[in-house]
Amino acid sequence: MGTATFIQDQTEFDSLLATESFLVVDCTATWCGPCRLVAPLIDQLAAEYSDRAKVLKLDLDANQPIAKRFGIRSIPAVLFFKQGELIETLVGVKPYEEFSNAVKRLLS
């Protein structure tokens, strides 16, 4: 089963935005309780859509400029990018279906 790996820094993040046609980024932090609830759902998403979408995690404590850039004020926040452009953001703990439906809708 695939799991979502962490983006290391802003350089890697920008490179992914430039090269991936569809990118899902879970903005998280180690101290965030709700983020821990969302983490296994994001791993499930990474496994289910591994052939069509790149699903990754981003530690906002280590990447604050990215949080500022996209106006992230609360986490967990899951960002959906298509062709490098932010298309949708889901904030808070959601059921798996909500993340999955967003991917399906945006991929079609």
Query: What are the chain's domains?
Result: 5-107 (3.40.30.10)
pLDDT digits 0-9 by tens, 4-25? 999 999 999 999 999 999 999 9
Global confidence as pTM:
0.96
pLDDT digits 0-9 by tens, 22-67? 999 999 999 999 999 999 999 999 999 999 999 999 999 999 999 9
- Which pLDDT does position 2 carry in this prediction? 66
- Which pLDDT does position 57 carry in this prediction? 98
- Which pLDDT does position 63 carry in this prediction? 96
Give Cβ neighbours of residue 44 (< 8 Å, ≥ 6 apart).
96
- Which pLDDT does position 99 carry in this prediction? 98
79 band by pLDDT with thresholds 50, 70 and 90: very high
Q: Which residue out of 24, 25, 27, 32 is catalytically annotated? A: 32
- Which pLDDT does position 56 carry in this prediction? 97
- Angle of helix 96-107 versus helix 33-48 axis, rounded to 10: 40
Is position 35 annotated as part of the catalytic site? yes
Per 3-state DSSP, the chain is made up of helix, strand and coil in percentages (nearest 5) of: 40, 25, 30
Task: Give the distance between the most distant pair of CA atoms in the chain.
Answer: 35
Q: Which residue out of 4, 23, 27, 35 is catalytically annotated? A: 35
DSSP code of 81? Answer: E
Task: Centre a 10 Å sphere on the Cβ of residue 38 and count the other Cβ atoms it contains.
Answer: 25
